[in-house]
Structure 1
């Protein structure tokens, strides 16, 4: 008896933008991506939340930041609160530091510019669906340019984590969106050692994700 291999799972995606032409353009780009399935679309934050209720299979939401009534940042907060399994990938024409940090603070898993290519769009969806983060190159550069901003003093804040030299090296490469394999090659260590360092860094900083870690590093000047 022969068995056919199981079809690869497809990422179910929700598109949210108040401009229908933008949605149609994204759908056209994704039409030939066998790993992605656009299951719903919405022209407002309120409709997006309804779509998430109606389509529990959605795992990634591509959200335009500049929408009336409910902004993309507000929608991201609602999604993270009501649908924690859904990963939010922000879409914008702008990549200023304030906008990027708003998305990270709201719980966004990535930030993609609207001039992204089809290949980057597919890669971004795959990354956030797999639990990773994705930032367009320009967005990543914006984050790195602000890594040396002095930490903001907060009353009652926990002491800043003390990281070893090696942990700081790993942290900088993590902030640059390098994979464990890339980090291992750059530092001439094993991937298992990289994973150990990453776990130690998360434990020391009390962060639960790479996004939170990047925010922590920026606020506390860990990479200066």
Structure 2
């Protein structure tokens, strides 16, 4: 199966370099490149369904629309799109904020080809690519009460049933599969899913997975 990729970065050299890096992969097709958020959004409105991207590689520092603003628009308008952040500013405050928005992965711009391919493959397959360094930075962020404020809602503790549902969601089971495993109806599972998102304040399943990992509910295999 081909993974369609969009690359959005205001540095043309970065766009061309990443596109060239991915061009040798038969399972990856770069269908959109753009140097700013507005042009990219225009491209999404006009591109054919066959070329619509599965994953967007988004730079944070762009002008006039920065990566944070673009991600917020994409999450609202195209919630099915998975987003990988490309950034030279790989630090816990940025990581924490982007997790809150439901980003699937974070890649420093100096990552090697193997890491790029692995991240794209894992995000397409599992919805998230989470490294040991990401985990360390998130724990550091969460341990700072000032920065952590608002990342996840901590007022409502998840019930044991909800934690069980979260673990199965993290294992990529569908609502029907979870319902069958727990002897519940798919509609009940969907209600659980939405209630969990509301409780923890996550935007999507990616945020739920990150929440489960940092709170010890689920152990995700890390790239060490």
TM-score by length of 2: 0.69
TM-score by length of 1: 0.69
Q: 8 Å contact 1:112–1:134 — kept in the other structure? A: no
Aligned to 2:22: 30
> Residue deviations 1:117-161, cap 9 Å, x none?
11111111122222421145533321133344457489x974222
Aligned to 1:17: 9
Aligned to 2:119: 124
Aligned to 1:130, the other structure's residue is in SS state helix
**2:137 aligned with 1:142:** yes
**2:151 aligned with 1:159:** no
Higher deviation after alignment, 145-154 or 27-36 = 145-154
Cα RMSD of the aligned pairs, angstroms, is 3.5
Aligned to 2:185: none
Q: Which structure 2 residue ranges, 5 or more long, are not aligned? A: 173-177, 183-188, 198-203, 217-224
- Alpha-carbon offset, residue 64 of structure 1: 0.3
- Identify, as 1 or 2, the structure richer in helix: 2
Aligned to 1:73: 68
How many residue pairs get aligned? The number is: 186
Distance of 1:36 and 1:94 partners within structure 2: 26
Q: 8 Å contact 1:16–1:61 — kept in the other structure? A: yes
Aligned to 2:104: 109
Q: Which has the higher Rg, Structure 1 or Structure 2?
A: 1
